[in-house]
Structure 1
């Protein structure tokens, strides 16, 4: 099992529409990736290492898939539609990390 984390850095002059992300983008993601998507979780950053420190990422979305190939296959089919929606909710490019789930 792998986890794909989509990380939106908390940059200066960042614009991020959390309502659009939750109510429109994530349902789109869930619908398009449904065949391979095992689990999804969205985290909104509220603090960094201490409560008075800004979070490094304003939003972190974690999606589980059976394998890298399962993710790449389904994302490849729908990448254009998913990526073209990004400007509807933010002005930053997300970072992507793929991790192996051990526990």
Structure 2
């Protein structure tokens, strides 16, 4: 009798465990990505060209934190990417670096950047001789 009771308890435990696992959100779903939907992403792209330079250390430790500080609570996060290769073998590197700001509001971003634009541009020669391209987009997924 005790053996049957133990077997029933094990069976019920196994059933409950399987049910709980089936009703969990997929592990591949990244909550950070879900939370970013609807954010504005401002990407600053630094194209590669012969003779152009980029000081990643200064960009990472000084320039990006400076600009991020101007954005205040509108800033959700920022990223820095260092170009390492083209997607096509033996092709030139398309971008030396990309800096991105994820913000809640484009108008608040513009309000923070506009009065500081000249100071931001004045910092460029400290880390690069590249004129960046800026892309503003909305995160959809």
State the TM-score, normalized to the length of structure 1.
0.90
Match for residue 55 of structure 1 among 84, 90, 93: 93
Structure 1 residues 16-31: aligned runs within 5 Å? 16-31=54-69
More helix by share: 2
Distance in 1 between the 2:91 and 2:79 partners? 23
2:140 match? 102
Shift of 1:52: 4.0
More strand by share: 1
Distance in 1 between the 2:108 and 2:69 partners? 15
2:110 match? 72
Shift of 1:13: 0.5
1:86 aligns to 2:124 (yes or no): yes
- Tell which has more relative contact order, 1 or 2 (C-alpha 8 A, sep 6+): 1
Shift of 1:92: 1.1
In the alignment, structure 2 segments of 5+ residues that lack a partner are: 1-38
Shift of 1:77: 2.6
Distance in 2 between the 1:51 and 1:38 partners? 35
Greater C-alpha Rg: 2
Shift of 1:76: 1.1
Distance in 2 between the 1:45 and 1:65 partners? 23
Tell me if the contact between 2:74 and 2:105 (Cα under 8 Å) persists in the aligned partners.
no
